Amino acid sequence: MFQVDGEDQLGLDEVGLSETAWERLNLSEGTEVQVTHAPAIESLASVRRRIYGNRLDSRAFTKIVQDVVAGRYTEVQLAAFLTATAALPLDENETAHLTGAMIAVGERLQWGAPVVVDKHCVGGLPGNRTTPIVVAIIAANGLVMPKTSSRAITSPAGTADTMETLAPVDLDIAALKRVVDAEGGCIAWGGAVHLSPADDIFVRVERELDVDTEGQLIASVLSKKVAAGSTHVVIDIPVGPTAKVRSEEAATHLATRITAVAARFGLTAQCLLTDGTQPVGRGIGPALEALDVLAVLQNAPDAPADLRTRAAILAGAALEIGGKAKNGEGLALALETLAEGRAWKKFEAICVAQGGMRTPPKALHVHPLAAPYAGRVIHINNRKLSRLAKLAGAPEAKAAGIHLNVRLGDEVDRGQPLLYLHAETGGALAYALDYAAGAEDIIEIDV
């Protein structure tokens, strides 16, 4: 169909391929190939049916997720599927079908223990870094807790980002098993384990759309928990006007739905509605949050009490559903485990098993944001604080972020630092200061 006039041109009986295609098809030069029209993707008919408001059955979700994981959907088609399930939310059956379909396309870890505990936070609250503390308390009490966490998607730090400033987290399945066999627990990055390959694809598009629906959230979380071989999971749902879940009504609906869908897969889930009106601890950003975690584990006198209490409540619930404490006695056992230093000892051991303990880095640039006038702190905007920390460089710059100096209800003087910005470069600091200057309602003060 075209002229051949140079050695870079293809002959009439030759086919050119992209680098990716060479790799995927595993071909060598000179191989004979047959080229045909791509077969139609049948599951797209289901996506179109869903767009126009028809509910889908288990078979339809299975086909969709299989095609998604096989890489057959374009970004546009992925976006259409995710948007359609936001416009008409997935019901309980559909959520379970999607969860099951996402479990089916991934691997499933096996642990030789009758009880395998897990913990999850639906997110949206900066500094809420309870996971390393919870794992240390649980493992110190003899339960198995092979915890894998994500890196930040839209937040200034994910648990994996924070933990990485304290120990290596990039463990493959063999390393993960070794650590858990030795110490009963781990705090690893889930990305290397690929517990939910479908979720890895959906998350990318959800992030671009900034759309995160209840049904997708539940399918994402539960598919990973089931794939990780968990039998019991405690789920932290922070509720507050600028948290991800904004009303108690929405939180209760989410909790009920999670528990019901989890039960269909033999997973015992307990949801805890927690205070989401302000950040947890003082640090926001990988290293700054790690310092809060260390302070709690080491029983430092200035350790943030709110982080300590939240972690103990979550660990207490896990100890109860995991059978290590009677109902109502979990919190006391968790606090005792912290106070006696057993949690810190276990945490150190886990870090060593994961490859050696590290010291969190410090930022080159630290700059205060001062109160413009005296008064009482009446509102803290979680979303804007997160944005501020990200502009300062978190999570890519591990030392970057925010050290928060005030909490709701505090009385402040004019000029008193409300927070300190931490940045690794002057440019990032300038971005953050620029944003702070135009957003005076990040921390609201009532005169």
Q: Which residues are catalytic?
A: 212
Q: How far is the CB of 144 from a copy of itself (least distance, A)?
A: 39
Q: How far is the CB of 56 from a copy of itself (least distance, A)?
A: 13
Smaller CB separation from a copy of itself, 41 or 352? 41
Smaller CB separation from a copy of itself, 294 or 394? 394
125: its two tokens: 């609250």
Q: How far is the CB of 83 from a copy of itself (least distance, A)?
A: 4
Cα–Cα dist 104/93, whole Å: 16
Smaller CB separation from a copy of itself, 122 or 137? 122
284: its two tokens: 């926001």
Is the link from the previous residue into 395 a cis peptide, with omega within 30 of 0?
A: yes
Interacting residue ranges for a copy of itself, rule: CB under 8 A: 37, 44, 48, 51-53, 74-80, 82-84, 86-88, 205, 208-211, 391, 431
What is the bridge-based pairing of β-strands 117-121 and 232-239?
parallel
Which candidate, 441, 125, 380, 120, places its Cα nearest to that of 275? 125
Q: How far is the CB of 304 from a copy of itself (least distance, A)?
A: 31
Q: How far is the CB of 297 from a copy of itself (least distance, A)?
A: 34
Q: How far is the CB of 239 from a copy of itself (least distance, A)?
A: 19
Q: How far is the CB of 356 from a copy of itself (least distance, A)?
A: 27
Smaller CB separation from a copy of itself, 6 or 37? 37
Smaller CB separation from a copy of itself, 23 or 208? 208
Smaller CB separation from a copy of itself, 63 or 119? 63
Are 345 and 297 in contact by the 8 Å Cβ rule? The answer is no
Are 403 and 363 in contact by the 8 Å Cβ rule? The answer is no
Smaller CB separation from a copy of itself, 346 or 390? 390
Smaller CB separation from a copy of itself, 76 or 447? 76
Q: How far is the CB of 45 from a copy of itself (least distance, A)?
A: 9
3-state secondary structure the chain: CCCCCCCCCCCCCCCCCCHHHHHHHCCCCCCCCCCCCCCCCCHHHHHHHHHCCCCCCHHHHHHHHHHHHCCCCCHHHHHHHHHHHHHCCCCHHHHHHHHHHHHHCCCCCCCCCCCEEEEEECCCCCCCCCHHHHHHHHHHCCCEEEEEECCCCCCCCCHHHHHCCCCCCCCCHHHHHHHHHHHCEEEEEHHHCCCCHHHHHHHHHHHHHCCCCHHHHHHHHHHHHHHCCCCEEEEEEEECCCCCECCHHHHHHHHHHHHHHHHHCCCEEEEEEEECCCCCCCEECHHHHHHHHHHHHCCCCCCCHHHHHHHHHHHHHHHHHCCCCCCCCHHHHHHHHHHCCHHHHHHHHHHHHHCCCCCCCCCCEEEEEECCCCEEEEEECHHHHHHHHHHCCCCCCCCCEEEECCCCCCEECCCCEEEEEEECCHHHHHHHHHHHHHCCCCEEEEC
Smaller CB separation from a copy of itself, 85 or 148? 85
Q: How far is the CB of 88 from a copy of itself (least distance, A)?
A: 6
262: its two tokens: 């989890």
Cα–Cα dist 286/405, whole Å: 17
